[in-house]
Amino acid sequence: MISLNKWALKNPTVPSRPRISHGTMPGSAALKAHNMTTNAEPGLRATIRRFWQQSYGPDWLSLLLLALANLAVGLIEPFQRMFSLDDRTLRFPHAEIERVPVPMLLVYSIALPTLLIILSTLINPHKTREQKLHQVHVSLLGLAISLMLTTFITDTVKNGYGRPRPDLIARCKPTEGTPEHELVGVEVCTERDYHTLYDGFRSFPSGHSSFSWSGLGFLSLFFFGQTRAFRPSSDMCRVVISGLPSLGALLITLSRTEDYRHDIYDVSTGSLIGASVAYWSYRRYFPPLTSSSCNSPLPPRGRGNEQTYSKTEFEMIPTRPSTPDLEMGQRA
């Protein structure tokens, strides 16, 4: 195949395009010159484009929008699905005291991962100050996105599906003479506490399960990467220690069935949602767990990466050229 440079010699009127070899790193002279040209573009539109492509501003903006969306979803009344008083799966007792109340769930899923991520990063003697700050930033950003997105998905499905909880009839306190073998609605209930009654129609999926897995599951992924637990030479001790947060999420999940707030389908689906979102959010900022650089986040967006991060630390992370011209030159 004739390269673009040879083709340009035969066609002198067509300017040759910069060629980047397969082994060229982002710190090459050609890419540096291209970045300087891009960053020097004047105008508001160019400034917005640089901000959108070279900073974490869009991620924080998306996080803010998710927070506002969660507030809106929390104000929506759930769909009240019809039920029957002779349904034995809805006749479990209503536990006034939960094994893991909401305040403790927030401690386990938000405060604990935040604290451990910060401490484990700051005490790492193999990272510079700039690397530690970057790792703390993207780790907490990924954790926040995981929690917010999981909450939004879970609450949206809860309100839309309106599945009765296993303790619904105990919450409802139906009026005397209500037919036991017919489908009835929420109008037969005598419970006057709004939250107690309508929260009985938010069974699927389990919010405790999804939230715990989105927080503690993310923490396990973080530890798996920092300890390089999935590398070929890793020992089993790293896997066990890194998996402890996931064990905590599993115990929280099981507690919801012990309180008769959910059945196995609710907690299984909630756990799947939380774990999937946690993995997706983690991979936005960290390389694969099998990578030789899994203990370091992806390089910061924008300029100056090579001044803060050594080439060897990120040499296994592929970086695609940011312009079609450079891509064509690489394929030549």
State the virtual CA torsion across 152, 156, 158, 162 in degrees, nearest 10. 170
Task: Name 84's bridge partners.
Answer: 183
The span from the CA of 309 to the CA of 127, in Å, is 10
Name the active-site residue from 34, 94, 134, 208. 208
Q: Which two tokens stand for residue 237?
A: 């001790």
- Read off φ and ψ for residue 164, nearest 5 degrees: -65, 145
Cβ-contact 139, 116 below 8 angstroms: no
What is the 8-class DSSP label of residue 125?
Answer: T
Name the active-site residue from 34, 94, 134, 262. 262
Say whether 22 is catalytic: no
Dihedral (CA of 300, 306, 308, 309) sign: positive
Side chain identity, residue 4: L
Side chain identity, residue 192: R
Q: Which two tokens stand for residue 128?
A: 């510079």
Say whether 137 is catalytic: no
Cα 1 from chain centroid? 44
CA within 13 Å, CB half, 4: 16
Active site positions, annotated: 208, 262
